[in-house]
Amino acid sequence: MTYRLVIPGRLDIAQLADLVAVSEAYSAERERSMEGASTFRDGRVYHSGAPQMVARVSYNGKVWAPEEGGALLFNPYA
């Protein structure tokens, strides 16, 4: 199963192999933007072809379960 990363108004990329690739794609776009956390939006993660969000990516590239206060799913600094 692959993932799709959406950063609203900025990026929509599918066929990401795993949460590592999701975090890397998000972080690369964040770096390109040169924006700070107050203006660069969280990423939304879906299973490719599915409508329900399965995770979100925060400004620091960490991937979280989608619900408020959700569990950490991937930490690029670990």
Q: Minimal CA–CA distance to 15: which of 53, 46, 61?
A: 46
Find the length of the chain: 78
pLDDT, tens only, 7-61? 999 999 999 999 999 999 999 999 999 999 999 999 999 998 889 999 999 999 9
Q: What is the pLDDT of residue 14?
A: 94
Question: Model pTM?
Answer: 0.94
Kindly give, in sequence order, each residue whose CB lies less than 8 Å from that of residue 32, ignoring residues fewer than 6 positions away. none
Number of folded domains in the chain? 1
Amino acid (1-letter code) at residue 56 = R
Domain range for residue 49? 3-74
Q: What is the pLDDT of residue 49?
A: 85
Q: What is the pLDDT of residue 48?
A: 87
